[in-house]
């Protein structure tokens, strides 16, 4: 089970901003009457100026030695504070479900149909599903950029317009020195929630702005940017489809407490703290499985080379992408609900839908 971004980085936050940093920042936010929509990096620096000289001197020193490191730390602090103060919930997407959701389209899905189960959530994802390998001059893999997880929260602006703020994190691993921490790459998205916005069209516009592909003489640079764009798109679609899946009738959820089996000695049971309960998470898709005979097809068609080519065949088989149907129901068919039409494998004269195994 992957560690959340919050748990992995909270010690670094304390080292930079001091103990009880979130509590102190929360007091500042309430005093200044700041909304979640207005949480910006400048606001954090304004808050830092109100802290004691020791912290101010530490931040100034870091700014002079590595301003990029400080900027990343401040951005992380904002996202982590919102997750902390809104008592965010942790979801983990199981591998088979993630593979199917990546192969699910969001064409003609209005953003108004996306609902958050909580004010703030964090999704850990299978890190081998959204990744890119960077090779050195000798053609060997030097670095791997892989998905860590994504924060999602609902916010409103001064005009009461609703947005989903999605912050996705990718880690960079040094393959020649795996113990060395190389850093993170983040992708951020502010998705307007309304009846007008088509999710797919918005994502395409956002990617054009965030990761444009201008003509270039450097072929390697072009394909590097192209691959980053593909990964960003895949990551965003995975998170959006996960939110839609949570609303569907087919959602398979399991609440898990990672500490449940760790307490064997009865005398420790009385000492269980509230902090231990915070380690629980919600597992999505445990009982959803891909037909074993089609696993290789999914793996092959989830590679970078086959992206945007839905009929790229693997041993005569291909995946027919899933989609969402706005199904009429109720009296006079006046109501609507999203129905997930799962992706399935087609080819060699067969038409077999994804199977569900209930254990």
Residues 357, 286 contacting (CB under 8 angstroms): no
Tokens of residue 171, six digits: 């880690």
Q: How many Cα atoms occupy the beta-carbon half-sphere of 185 within 13 Å?
A: 17
Residues in Cβ contact with 40 at an 8 Å cutoff, skipping those fewer than 6 apart:
78
* Distance in angstroms (rounded) separating the CA atoms of residues 63 and 116: 37
Residues 144, 172 contacting (CB under 8 angstroms): yes
Residues in Cβ contact with 170 at an 8 Å cutoff, skipping those fewer than 6 apart:
130, 131, 145, 146, 147, 148, 184, 185, 186, 187, 231, 235
3-state secondary structure 94-147: CHHHHHHHHCECCCCCEHHHCCCCCCEEEEECCCCCCEEEEECCCCCEEEEEEE
The pLDDT value recorded for residue 359 is 40
The pLDDT value recorded for residue 353 is 46
Residues in Cβ contact with 275 at an 8 Å cutoff, skipping those fewer than 6 apart:
none
Helix (H) or strand (E) holding 337: strand 335-341
The pLDDT value recorded for residue 352 is 45
- Crossing angle of helices 67-85 and 41-48, in 10° steps, is 100
Residues 122, 150 contacting (CB under 8 angstroms): yes
Residues of the chain under the 50 pLDDT cut: 263-277, 349-354, 356, 358-359
Please name every residue paired with 239 in a beta bridge, in sequence order, or none if there are none. Answer: none
Strands 120-124 and 141-156, bridge-based pairing: antiparallel
pTM of the predicted structure, to 2 decimals: 0.86
* Residue for token pair 């996960």: 242
- % of the chain beyond a pLDDT of 90: 48
3-state secondary structure of 315: coil
The pLDDT value recorded for residue 261 is 52
């Amino acid at each position: 089970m992957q560690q959340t971004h919050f748990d992995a980085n909270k010690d670094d936050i304390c080292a930079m901003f001091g103990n009880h940093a979130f509590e102190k920042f929360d007091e500042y936010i309430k005093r200044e009457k700041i909304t979640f929509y207005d949480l910006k990096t400048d606001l954090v620096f304004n808050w830092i100026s109100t802290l004691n000289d020791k912290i101010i001197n530490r931040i100034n020193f870091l700014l002079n030695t590595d301003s990029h490191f400080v900027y990343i730390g401040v951005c992380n602090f904002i996202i982590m504070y919102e997750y902390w103060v809104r008592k965010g919930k942790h979801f983990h997407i199981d591998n088979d479900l993630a593979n199917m959701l990546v192969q699910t389209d969001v064409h003609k899905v209005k953003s108004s149909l996306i609902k958050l189960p909580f004010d703030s959530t964090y999704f850990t994802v299978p890190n081998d599903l959204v990744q890119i390998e960077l090779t050195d001059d000798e053609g060997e893999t030097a670095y791997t950029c892989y998905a860590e997880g994504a924060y999602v929260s609902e916010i409103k602006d001064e005009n009461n317009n609703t947005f989903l703020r999605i912050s996705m994190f990718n880690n960079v691993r040094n393959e020649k020195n795996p113990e060395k921490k190389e850093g993170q790459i983040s992708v951020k998205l502010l998705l307007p929630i309304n009846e007008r916005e088509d999710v797919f069209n918005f994502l395409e516009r956002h990617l054009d702005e965030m990761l444009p592909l201008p003509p270039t003489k450097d072929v390697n640079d072009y394909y590097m940017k192209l691959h980053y764009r593909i990964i960003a798109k895949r990551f965003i679609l995975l998170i959006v489809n996960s939110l839609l899946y949570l609303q569907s009738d087919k959602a398979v959820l399991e609440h898990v407490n990672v500490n449940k089996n760790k307490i064997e000695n009865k005398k420790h049971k009385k000492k269980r703290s509230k902090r231990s309960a915070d380690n629980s998470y919600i597992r999505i898709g445990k009982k959803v499985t891909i037909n074993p005979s089609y696993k290789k097809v999914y793996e092959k068609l989830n590679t970078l080379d086959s992206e945007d080519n839905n009929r790229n065949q693997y041993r005569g088989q291909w995946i027919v992408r899933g989609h969402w149907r706005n199904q009429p129901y109720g009296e006079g068919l006046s109501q609507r609900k999203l129905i997930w039409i799962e992706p399935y494998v087609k080819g060699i004269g067969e038409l077999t839908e994804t199977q569900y195994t209930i254990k």
